[in-house]
Structure 1
Amino acid sequence: MMRKIIFFIFIMALLIPTIPAMAVSPAGERYINQIVGGGNSSLRRASQSIYHNGHRERVVLDVLSEKLLRTYNDTSQTGVDALAWACKALGQSGDTRYRNVLQTVKKNAKHSKVRKYAKQSLNDMPAGKVKKPYKKGSVNLKAMEKKLAKGKSPVPSSKKSKRKRKSGKNKYSLSAIEKGMSLEEVDELLGEPTSTAGHITGKSFNPFYRGSDHARLIYFYKGKGRIHFSQRSRYSRRVWRVMEVEIDPGEPGYP
């Protein structure tokens, strides 16, 4: 009798939705923490970053899909904005694994804006059969929330992430930085730079300037390299995004 009980418990454990086992990058871990542990504002910021960075880690997109499937009927202003960005983030991946997620949102979401962006994002998905479509419940958000509340990572981390948490330091190498990341993300992953420099571009004076940005900023990291940021709108001066990463162990740290 005892053997049957143990066997039954073992089988049930296998059937319970689990957290993705794949190790996640430092950026991916940050996005998952935002999606799982935050509210609508955090979901929006994570989705915007995933969209602008072209982030395609399935372990991250699975968590985003689960969140979207469980909250797509949120009609609050902040909720609608966050959900629209979540749809865009999945769409930019071009991964057909998430086509059914967007189809569900397009068909059932209460707010027209959410349905609109789900439809647009579906258009970014290539045609063809899907071998392993994402299924609702594949990610256990509650279990992830509990881990995060205890100060643990909700997903297996890369070796760099583990070393960082163990040492208590908030520093990675420049290789952890992705094109399209916000300045806020870079500050969180790398800490303060050795020095900075910036300048405005011709577009600030001449609307016919061929460049697409209004200002640029450079972060210098001694012994690591430098990161170039671009500001694409004079009306959103708080938004700087990574344009280029130069890894150079010989970087002096100053212009």
Structure 2
Amino acid sequence: MKIFYLALVTVLFFSHPCFSTEPLSPIDQRYVERLSIGGPTTIRDVAKSIYRSEQANTQVLDVAAEVLMRDYQVAIDNTQIDALAWVIKALALADTNRYQVILAEVAENASHRKIAKYARKMQDDDLPEGPAYEPGSVVLADYEPDQASPVAGASAATESNREVHPITIVREGMSIQEAYDLVGYPTSEHTYQTGKQWIPFNYKGGDIRRQAALYKGQGRIVFSNTSRYSNSWRVLEVLVDEAETGYP
């Protein structure tokens, strides 16, 4: 009987999301590394990518949750505050109530009203029951890469040695630099305007330009501009085509 209970406890322990031994995908591995070593701008960009791709790995969200718990009472400048607001939005992608307890705590004790507002907004009492995330159960240092990556300021040699993946790994909502970090630079690129350029009330100017990154023998990645006031591009779609010549 003791052996039975020991086996049961072991199974439950390692089946808990915090202790999943399933290897992370290359994208998710990059996410946890950038969250663990990145500053506010990097954390914001990762959280945006997670939220816009609508694909949330529990291990990644746990790391994001630990970053939130580390910073929510000390964030004071606009970049830090904005980064944590996006982290909270990313945590809302969870399909259980795993992060609801910490969102309630953040809503009550956050250093800035914007962080508290987003924490309150993203609380949801209707989510299915699940094991709650326990602050401190993730050690951020465990996710730091063994060697410096471009996120931490790597050398050109380190950058050239990075593994390059096929374009099929790219997710909608990724930033252009994030996509290029994963799949390398394209054979060629070309930019063109869309019909939204001429919509009278499109004040923000989103998706008025698109940029196609052509990869010979693979296809193309299409990026869309997020605003006329910035040079930010996000993945709109990935078109797989083995007959792609790589040139417009």
TM-score range, shorter chain: 0.7 to 0.9
Task: Note if 1:151 corresponds to 2:153.
Answer: no
Q: Cα–Cα, structure 1 residues 104 and 20, in superposed 2: closer, same or farther, change >3 Å? A: farther
Cα contact 2:96–2:127 (8 A) shared by 1: no
Conserved 8 A contact 2:96-2:130:
no
Q: What is the CA distance between 1:49 and its match in structure 2?
A: 1.5
Note the C-alpha offset of 1:67: 1.2
2:247 counterpart SS class:
coil
**How far apart in 2 are the matches of 1:140 and 1:111?**
25
Alignment match, 2:164: 171
Distance (Å, rounded) in 1 between the aligned partners of 2:76 and 2:27: 28
What is the aligned partner in structure 1 of residue 221 from structure 2?
227
**Per-residue deviation, residues 181-210 of structure 1 (Å, max 9, x unmatched):** 11111111111101112211222233258x
Return the offset for 1:242: 0.8
In structure 1, stretches of 5+ residues that fail to align are 1-13, 154-164
Amino acid at match of 1:72: Y
Give the deviation of 1:19 after TM superposition. 6.7
User: CA offsets, 1:16-67, max 9 Å, x none?
Assistant: xx87522112221111111101222221121121122213111110110111
RMSD, aligned α-carbons: 2.7
Q: Does the 8 A contact of 2:58 with 2:94 survive in 1?
A: no
Q: How many angstroms apart in 2 are the aligned matches of 1:206 and 1:144? A: 45
The CA deviation string for residues 57-101 of structure 1, in whole angstroms up to 9 with x for no partner, is 111101101111121112321321211111111124454222222
- 1:213 is matched with which residue: 207, 214, 217? 207
How far, CA to CA, are the matches of 1:75 and 1:221 in structure 2?
41
Contact 1:54 1:93 in 2 (8 A): no
Give, as a single letter, the amino acid of the residue that structure 2 aligns with 1:51: Y
The CA distance in 2 between the partners of 1:208 and 1:86, in whole Å, is: 30
Q: 1:104 to 1:231 in 2, by over 3 A?
A: same
Higher relative contact order (CA 8 A, sep 6+): 1
Amino acid at match of 2:178: E
Q: How far apart are the structure 1 equivalents of 2:185 and 2:220? A: 12
Say if 1:193 and 1:95 are closer, same or farther in 2 by CA, change over 3 A: farther
Provide the aligned length of Structure 1 versus Structure 2: 222
Distance 1:183 1:95, change over 3 A: farther
2: distance between equivalents of 1:198 and 1:126? 45
CA distance in 2, matches of 1:232, 1:43: 18
Write out per-residue CA displacement over residues 202-228 of structure 1, whole angstroms, 9 at most, x where no aligned residue.
22233258x962111111100111111
Percent identical across equivalent pairs? 39
Name the structure 2 match of 1:117: 118
Q: Which amino acid aligns with 2:210?
A: R
User: Is the CA contact (8 Å cut-off) linking 1:35 and 1:43 kept in structure 2?
Assistant: yes
Question: What's the counterpart of residue 247 of structure 1?
Answer: 240
Asked whether the equivalents of residues 32 and 143 of structure 2 are also in contact (C-alpha less than 8 Å), the reply is no
Alignment deviations for residues 104-157 of structure 1 (CA, whole Å, 9 cap, x no partner) = 2112212111001111222xx461442212111221223334xx2x3299xxxx
Letter in 1 for 2:199: N
1:1-255 pair list within 5 angstroms: 20-77=20-77, 78-122=79-123, 125=124, 127-145=126-144, 148=145, 150-151=146-147, 168-207=161-200, 213-236=207-230, 238-255=231-248
- TM-score calculated relative to the size of structure 1: 0.78
In the aligned structure 2, how far is the partner of 1:174 from the partner of 1:66?
Answer: 31
CA distance in 2, matches of 1:252, 1:235: 33
Aligned residue identity for 1:74:
V
